[in-house]
Amino acid sequence: MVAKALTIAGSDSGGGAGIQGDLKTFEALGVFGLSVLTSITAQNTQRVTGVHDLPPEFVALQLRTVAEDIGIDAAKTGMLSNGGIMEVLAEEIERCNIRKLVVDPVMRAKSGDPLIAPEAEKSLRQHILPLALLVTPNLPEAESLSGRVIRTIDDMKEAAKMIMEFHPRAVLIKGGHLQGQVAAVDILFDGQDFYEFSRERVDVPEGVHGTGCAYSAAITAELAKGCELVTAIERSKDYISRAIQRFYSVGKGHPVLDHSLKTL
């Protein structure tokens, strides 16, 4: 039986991130991709021009329907734009007994446009993070969740400890935005030990669209195939680093990564 991975996220009409990017990543890594749509965005490589949230009960219905027939080996969350969606999803995730849950706490698009209501951050901490096997914030998201400024690797480690207070089983802080570093270093904290995942930094001044979604989707795919967490992250770091190296432009704004790149 093929491994099955689920993405619970918003739609990116530009195709570089969100549901579209996640499903491309699942396909590249050899798992069967399932989806639960939370929001529809009107966006391109330059900006987000509109967001339409689906009714929370319909979001829950999608998850329930997929789980009862197909089954879910691992899942990830991306854009969860309001507290109502988070609350019903938390109930459904527990009902479906999804233990391998990767939470990508998406707060802003690459363009800087907000993708979560400010008041919904409380629901994220209260309802979603406690269900996570892994939460994968970038530096701005880690600063928001931890309430501290991050300027160094040591700051990343302290922030990871603080995010663990919301009771995920592990935290992976992505260091791609860290200034003054030759390498792109991510820090994993599992409540006891720290792990570092380092690869050569790819310098793209305007930034590459869809990297966070693809990274968390890759980890989810590897977990669905039965990998332990550290191995899943190691393989996914390879995937995302090489996918970024092969970035290309499809529009007038941010370039996109090459989702189709398969692991060795």
Output the CA–CA distances (angstroms, integers) from residue 20 to 57, 137, 157, in the order listed: 22, 20, 32
- Inside any domain, residue 206: yes
SS3 140: helix
- Note whether 22 and 88 are within 8 A (CB): no
- Inside any domain, residue 100: yes
- Inside any domain, residue 45: yes
- Inside any domain, residue 135: yes
- Inside any domain, residue 251: no
Domain count, the chain: 1
- Inside any domain, residue 262: no
- Inside any domain, residue 85: yes
Residues in the chain: 264
What does the block give as tokens for 244? Answer: 């970024």
The per-residue pLDDT string of the chain (264 residues; one tens digit each, 9 = 90 and over) reads: 899 999 999 999 999 999 999 999 999 999 999 999 999 999 998 999 999 999 999 999 999 999 999 999 999 999 998 999 999 999 999 999 999 999 999 887 666 676 777 788 899 999 999 999 999 999 999 999 999 999 999 999 999 999 999 999 999 999 987 876 778 899 999 999 999 999 988 877 678 889 999 999 999 999 999 999 999 999 999 999 999 988 888 989 899 999 987 544
74: left (phi over 0), alpha (psi -120 to 50) or beta: beta
Phi, psi values for residue 190, rounded to 5°: -105, 15
Say what the pLDDT of residue 264 is. 40
Query: For residue 131, what are the domain limits?
Result: 4-245
- Inside any domain, residue 213: yes
Q: In CATH, what number is assigned to the domain containing residue 173? A: 3.40.1190.20
Amino acid identity of residue 81, one-letter, is S
State the virtual CA torsion across 56, 62, 63, 64 in degrees, nearest 10. Answer: 100
